[in-house]
A and B are shown apart, each in its own frame.
Chain A
Amino acid sequence: MTTPPPLPAAMTRRHLLGRSGVALGTLAGLAGLTGCDDRQADQEPPAPSDPLAAKPPMIPARATRVIYLHMAGSPSHLDLFEYKPELAKLTGQPCPESLLKGKRFAFIKGVPKMLGSPFSFSQHGQSGQWLSELLPHFATVIDEVAVVRSVITDQFNHAPAQLFLHTGQPRFGYPSLGSWVNYGLGSRNRDLPGFVVLSSGGKTPDAGKSVWGSGFLPSVYQGVQCRTVGEPVLYLSDPPGMSRTLRRGMLDSVQALNRIEHDQVGDPETLTRAAQFELAYRMQTSVPEVMDISKEPKHILDLYGARPGYVAPTDAMGDPRAHYKGDDPTFANNCLLARRLVESGVRFVQLYDWGWDHHGASPGESIDETLPIKCQQIDRAVAALITDLKNRGLLDETLVVWGGEFGRTPMMQNDVRDTLVKGFMGRDHHPYANTMWMAGGGIKPGLALGATDEIGYYITEHPVTIRDLQATILHQLGLNPFRFSYRYQGLDQRLIGPTNEGRVVTELLS
């Protein structure tokens, strides 16, 4: 009588996990699981039961890690990337009826007025790309990135659009991009989480933790939010009065008792749990170490504009937007941290920077006053991240992605006031055209892909959908977006959804 192998039906063969009740490949002794202090990425043989053990890609990979910079709220493509002199000429004119017919807007009412950018644009780098004056540092690395000027989404409210972008569905309950990657490729460093989330701007994204949640994937794959204030990971620090020696001794007692139990009962899960305690112990050292940017030399801190130990006063505010300062280094600190994390083998680092929703309806959310402050907060840091990754030889294998969840209207938002008032110039949500950029990880540098019409309303060339973007990111990581799946509710669920609309944007690849 042959006995069927113990594969749970809800999981695919390749991704057999160390779940409760599932047999382990080998029963590693407890001694072999302790005292490991080797933090070199990709060095240790994975524990057979470890669901985060590094796994080989499905197809040849161009990138091994991702830094995703999400500007929550959605910056205006028309004021940063899209030089539209025709739109400027139309400023103050009523929007043609043809652009409004059949369209849904979040806030615009009736017939709004057209709004050109108040900022000046010029061309930069070998590639001659247009950029506004708000991104002077980014302009210096423009030849390293591919700018996609034709991103389109089908969601026009923040939470659904963020969910669609990061989980492939505009609804709750689906795994985020980072957790998919964590599940598909595992972690390259056993002492650190495989998927780390850092946030700035004083708020978490509109869709909450679901944008780094694991949905129907096991929760071990969800993003771990590392905080820059307080403990970097919740409950990471030993309590006051518990020295490291005492902690080690206490854990030795735990493991001795676990060993007695394992001798009696023999459940392999006991060993898995014992190993997780050892990993937790190592994380107590490795996480604070990697999170401590004060170890960086001054020229690196200056490059990013980072300031170790900075606590943003806006973090404690109910509504921080009117209090943003251009020299707030929180995002810069996070960019530097992102580099340190990928350098240490973290697979996926997700940054969220809140405060980019520039409607012009209330103080602290305008195109003319708030957008320049937000750009000041990120411009130097983003350029530094690209430069630093490149100097360290990390850019080749690190895919950097930047963008919001949708674009903004070429019309002025008019629900509160329909005349231009200083500090209240605003644009509504616009799903039909947006700009994002990518760099490193096999992306063609110095590329401008796609174009919009002369007012930046519709895409005229190379539309890139959210599904295309997701397919491309997975593809670069060596995960075939069409076949990379997880069985749930009877279906092979995929990040790119059930239909085959998404495609790998080969034009972007080097």
Chain B
Amino acid sequence: MRSLVPLLLLATAMSMLTGSDAPISFSLQIRPLLSEKCFSCHGPDATHREAKLRFDDEASAKGERKGGPAIVPRDPAASQVWQRLITSDSDDVMPPPKSHRTLDAAQKSLIKQWIAESAPWGRHWAFEPLLSADGEIGRGAHAIDALVAQGHAAHGLAFAPPADARVLARRLALDLIGLPPTPERADAFAAAFAVDADAAVAGYVDELLASPRYGEHWARMWLDLARYADTKGYEKDLARQMWLYRDWVINALNDDMPFDRFTIEQLAGDLLPDPTREQLIATAFQRNTMTNDEGGIDKEEYRVLAVKDRVDTTGQVWLGLSVGCAKCHSHKYDPISHEDYYRLFAIYNQSADANLWDDSPKLALSSPAQDAERATLEAAVAEAKTALDALRAADPHAVRKDAVVPEDSPQIVAAKKAWQAAKDRLNEHQAGIPSVLVMRELPVDKRRTTHVQVRGNFLNPGAVVQPAVLPLPGFPASAPGMRVDRLALARWLVDAGNPLTPRVMANRIWARLFGTGLVETEEDFGALGSLPSHPLLLDQLARIYRDEGAWSLKHLLRTIAISRTYRQAAVFDAQRLEHDPANRWLSRAGRLRLTAEQLRDQTLCVAGLLSGKIGGPSVMPPQPDGLWHSTYNATTWVNASGEDRYRRALYTYWKRTTPYPSMTAFDAGSREVCQVRRIHTDTPLQALVTLNDPVYLEAAAALAGCVLAQPGDEAKRAERGLRLALIRQVRSEEIAAVVAAYQRAEGSFAMAPDDAQALLKAASARTIAGIPPAEQAAWTVAMSVIINLDEFVSRN
């Protein structure tokens, strides 16, 4: 049931790439077809291979066989492939009918033309080195626009006009720091934009990228990949401390740590020479795997599962490959054998963690002051013990078993009490010192032997394998004779000879800004993933990221953000809806629903409630009672008071079996495993959150407080509310609609003053001197109207 669209897209992508008369591209047009239609029986997986024929291997596909070679270059008629495709004999026809795979006429003719053109061979497109666009397209943002324009030309499309300055100001702020600007900042931007648009955008983008809010915003995406959570997962789902790692990610992003270093420190910080405390914290990335505390489990089984999760996550985050498929059998479509999987597994198989109750190894992080305090407390314990011992020594019978009476003596009882109290103080102090789970290699004599696990079953060991990176075609290999450890793996992932990592990351960033990646299947760059809509643009972005910016994420974001492509208006005219409905050709700006985190943060921000506090332990903003009912886990959710009610969403305590409900409603996952992209949905449960969740109601009341502080009539207040929320200038009919909403509510509350009081109480509204409750409640309803607008939950 697979859509044929990627291949059709490719036909046009290729004509863009090389001109319409260009020869067929094996990597982008033929191989995907062979992969989808033929590889399951004639591909990399030897156990399911039919007729010893493989189309992932040129020698096999073109080699001599009984009945003639499958492919004879320049001679379709002599090629068995062509004959078997067009035969009407149901026994001979390929693919066989029972496979439910068929080729349409256009696909068949593509194969024929390719054979006629001498059937040139190559690798899967994503394994090929980065393509170079020709010199004429320029550099930086100009190159992006030139390549997008080529796509437009091929489809009779054009750039949309530039977005309105204030709309752009909101878009840039939401995209780069996850929060909207104030209307005043947007006005200033608009004024500068009118004078010199390019300079205004560049200056504004730099300002946003320098904000500490930037790291908080982009951490969200990385924390989904890192499956960051505050609990261990599985049945008991007990708490663990990982927030130090979350703060490490925020800081690394704010410092614009180059992605190669970002990679190496997280995967192998502990293996660097003289690792710093920060580099050790970074390794918590791979300790975000779950720990199963259920009674009666085989701990080794869950240790192995955690190691597999690390392998799978590495494949997903850096390579965009579903490496995990090779756990049980060789990958059917990508060149990853069953053995390759366990060679990669072997790299991760030497870490000391073992699904232990205490989640060790951990790193406790005390400040110098805390160290000093601990020394004092330890001394106090020793002193109390000495005092006790002295008392006991004074009594010659005391240490004997039968010395019942002296142990009961008032002095000894008091001394024991004092000793216990000192110990309690020390324990309490220790419990208050944050610690984080880290990676640590086993000592050489304790290293594990890694076997292939037959059918993925750890109780069924096969051959012994040595650690090695994946032997992807054209990629650098593990250096012979060298021990391949996590550090070697991390360096290989960001090696200049690996084109996948920069492609995958650049595509991921693009998708966050445009809604869809150039490769739509962000999680799969393998043979069955979708093909890039703009192969040259993808590779150009990868170059901007890796080469031009030396792995600077801020550089990549800045380059995209100043491009004409990004600065277009979100225009949905008939022409574009017909010819570019999904915006694959980028003929307008992406219009995106805000993420769960953006929506909460934006709402609190425009209402003036948002706390600016960065980092620290996770917090528990209000959620409905009775949601936490984990088995054998007595931890409770206690609604935060004060500032912690209003922290940014990424600081919300993330319990894997019961994530925060409004996050789940807006498509956040559970963080049990790596999540590459959130599929956005549109549901009535989302409407119920923004209508009725007390968090959103409280924000409406706070926003009402802001507009009531505004002097002037109802229209002025309505306008202020609209502008605070939507940032752009507003139309008179919009003001009229909000005034009408206010008046209707005010009329209703005037008749039912108790209702007004009840609503204000539910909204935790602050009393405003001189404002009647009916009026305040009515403005709360009017502001709730604005918070529930499609435009408010979207980014135009």
**Interface residues in chain A, defined as those with a beta carbon under 8 Å from any beta carbon in chain B:** 1, 3-14, 18-23, 51, 104-107, 157-159, 171-173, 199, 202-210, 213, 216-220, 224, 227, 229-231, 233-243, 245-246, 249-250, 253-254, 256-258, 260-262, 265-270, 272-274, 276-277, 279-281, 283-284, 315, 318-319, 354, 428-429, 483, 485, 487-492
**B672 and A172 contacting across the interface, CB-CB below 8 Å:** yes
Which of B176-184, B249-257, B690-698 contacts its partner? Answer: B690-698
Q: A9-B6, A20-B592, A202-B629 are known; give 10 further A-B pairs, CB within 8 A.
A: A3-B578, A14-B1, A20-B591, A157-B294, A172-B670, A173-B673, A224-B685, A253-B738, A257-B785, A277-B691
B54 within 8 A of A: no
Residues of chain B within 8 A (CB-CB) of A242 are: 755, 759, 781
Q: Could you write out 17 A-B pairs with CB less than 8 Å apart?
A: A1-B154, A3-B155, A8-B520, A9-B530, A159-B234, A203-B630, A207-B234, A234-B689, A239-B759, A241-B756, A241-B762, A265-B570, A273-B687, A274-B790, A277-B788, A280-B684, A490-B529
Residues of chain A within 8 A (CB-CB) of B685 are: 224, 233-235, 280
Which residue on chain A has the smallest CB distance to residue B686?
Answer: A276
CB proximity of A31 to chain B, nearest CB, Å: 16
B400 within 8 A of A: no
**A22 and B581 contacting across the interface, CB-CB below 8 Å:** yes
Residues of chain B within 8 A (CB-CB) of A279 are: 684, 687
**B681 and A218 contacting across the interface, CB-CB below 8 Å:** yes
Residues of chain A within 8 A (CB-CB) of B305 are: 171
Which residue on chain B has the smallest CB distance to residue A104?
Answer: B298
Residues of chain A within 8 A (CB-CB) of B777 are: 241
Residues of chain B within 8 A (CB-CB) of A492 are: 1-2
**A236 and B692 contacting across the interface, CB-CB below 8 Å:** yes
Residues of chain B within 8 A (CB-CB) of A240 are: 755, 758-759, 761-762
For the side of the interface on B, what is the size category? 35 or more
Residues of chain A within 8 A (CB-CB) of B294 are: 157-159, 206
CB proximity of B496 to chain A, nearest CB, Å: 27
**B759 and A208 contacting across the interface, CB-CB below 8 Å:** no
Kindly state the separation between the CA atoms of A492 and B761 in the bound complex, as whole angstroms.
Answer: 51
The contact of B763 among A159, A239, A243, A246, by CB within 8 Å, is A239
B573 within 8 A of A: yes
Residues of chain A within 8 A (CB-CB) of B233 are: 172
Kindly state the separation between the CA atoms of A254 and B630 in the bound complex, as whole angstroms.
Answer: 38
CB proximity of A8 to chain B, nearest CB, Å: 6
CB proximity of B171 to chain A, nearest CB, Å: 13
**A246 and B781 contacting across the interface, CB-CB below 8 Å:** yes
Which residue on chain B has the smallest CB distance to residue A207?
Answer: B235
Name the interface residues of B665-720: CB closer than 8 Å to any CB of A. 665, 667, 670, 672-673, 679-689, 691-694, 697
The contact of B737 among A14, A172, A256, A428, by CB within 8 Å, is A256
Residues of chain A within 8 A (CB-CB) of B88 are: none
**B683 and A107 contacting across the interface, CB-CB below 8 Å:** no
The contact of B688 among A21, A220, A235, by CB within 8 Å, is A235
Which of B411-419, B463-471, B604-612, B654-662 contacts its partner? Answer: B654-662
**B681 and A253 contacting across the interface, CB-CB below 8 Å:** no
**Interface residues in chain B, defined as those with a beta carbon under 8 Å from any beta carbon in chain A:** 1-3, 5-6, 8-9, 12, 100, 154-156, 233-235, 237, 290, 292, 294-298, 305, 322, 325, 333, 459, 515-516, 520-521, 523-524, 526-530, 570-573, 577-584, 590-593, 624-626, 629-632, 634, 656-659, 661, 664-665, 667, 670, 672-673, 679-689, 691-694, 697, 731, 733-734, 737-738, 740-741, 744-745, 748-749, 752, 754-763, 777, 781-782, 784-786, 788-791, 793-794, 796
Residues of chain B within 8 A (CB-CB) of A490 are: 322, 333, 521, 524, 526-529
**A260 and B731 contacting across the interface, CB-CB below 8 Å:** yes
CB proximity of B732 to chain A, nearest CB, Å: 11
CB proximity of B613 to chain A, nearest CB, Å: 27
The contact of A258 among B6, B298, B656, B790, by CB within 8 Å, is B790
Kindly state the separation between the CA atoms of A202 and B630 in the bound complex, as whole angstroms.
Answer: 9
- Contacts A207-B235, A236-B692, A280-B691 given; indicate if A243 touches B530 (C-beta within 8 A): no
- Contacts A237-B692, A243-B748, A249-B741 given; indicate if A265 touches B796 (C-beta within 8 A): yes
- Contacts A243-B752, A243-B755, A261-B789 given; indicate if A208 touches B524 (C-beta within 8 A): no
Residues of chain A within 8 A (CB-CB) of B689 are: 234-235
The contact of B516 among A21, A231, A280, A488, by CB within 8 Å, is A21
The contact of A7 among B5, B629, B670, by CB within 8 Å, is B5
Which residue on chain B has the smallest CB distance to residue A487?
Answer: B2
Which residue on chain B has the smallest CB distance to residue A256?
Answer: B737
Which residue on chain A has the smallest CB distance to residue B782?
Answer: A253
**A257 and B692 contacting across the interface, CB-CB below 8 Å:** no
CB proximity of A477 to chain B, nearest CB, Å: 18
**A20 and B235 contacting across the interface, CB-CB below 8 Å:** no
**A11 and B692 contacting across the interface, CB-CB below 8 Å:** no
- Contacts A250-B784, A260-B733, A485-B1 given; indicate if A276 touches B687 (C-beta within 8 A): yes
Residues of chain A within 8 A (CB-CB) of B759 are: 239-242
Residues of chain B within 8 A (CB-CB) of A276 are: 682-684, 686-687
Residues of chain B within 8 A (CB-CB) of A261 are: 789-791
Which residue, A104, A171, A254, A429, has most C-beta atoms of chain B within 10 A? A254
Which residue on chain A has the smallest CB distance to residue B745?
Answer: A246
Kindly state the separation between the CA atoms of A282 and B782 in the bound complex, as whole angstroms.
Answer: 21
**B673 and A172 contacting across the interface, CB-CB below 8 Å:** yes
**B657 and A8 contacting across the interface, CB-CB below 8 Å:** no
Kindly state the separation between the CA atoms of A206 and B683 in the bound complex, as whole angstroms.
Answer: 27
CB proximity of B347 to chain A, nearest CB, Å: 21
CB proximity of A32 to chain B, nearest CB, Å: 17
**A489 and B582 contacting across the interface, CB-CB below 8 Å:** no
**A220 and B579 contacting across the interface, CB-CB below 8 Å:** no
Kindly state the separation between the CA atoms of A9 and B7 in the bound complex, as whole angstroms.
Answer: 10
Kindly state the separation between the CA atoms of A284 and B685 in the bound complex, as whole angstroms.
Answer: 11
**B6 and A246 contacting across the interface, CB-CB below 8 Å:** no
Q: Which 10 A-B pairs have the closest CB atoms?
A: A106-B296, A208-B657, A490-B528, A241-B759, A241-B758, A23-B581, A266-B572, A9-B530, A280-B687, A253-B741
Kindly state the separation between the CA atoms of A39 and B64 in the bound complex, as whole angstroms.
Answer: 67
**B591 and A267 contacting across the interface, CB-CB below 8 Å:** yes
**A1 and B762 contacting across the interface, CB-CB below 8 Å:** no
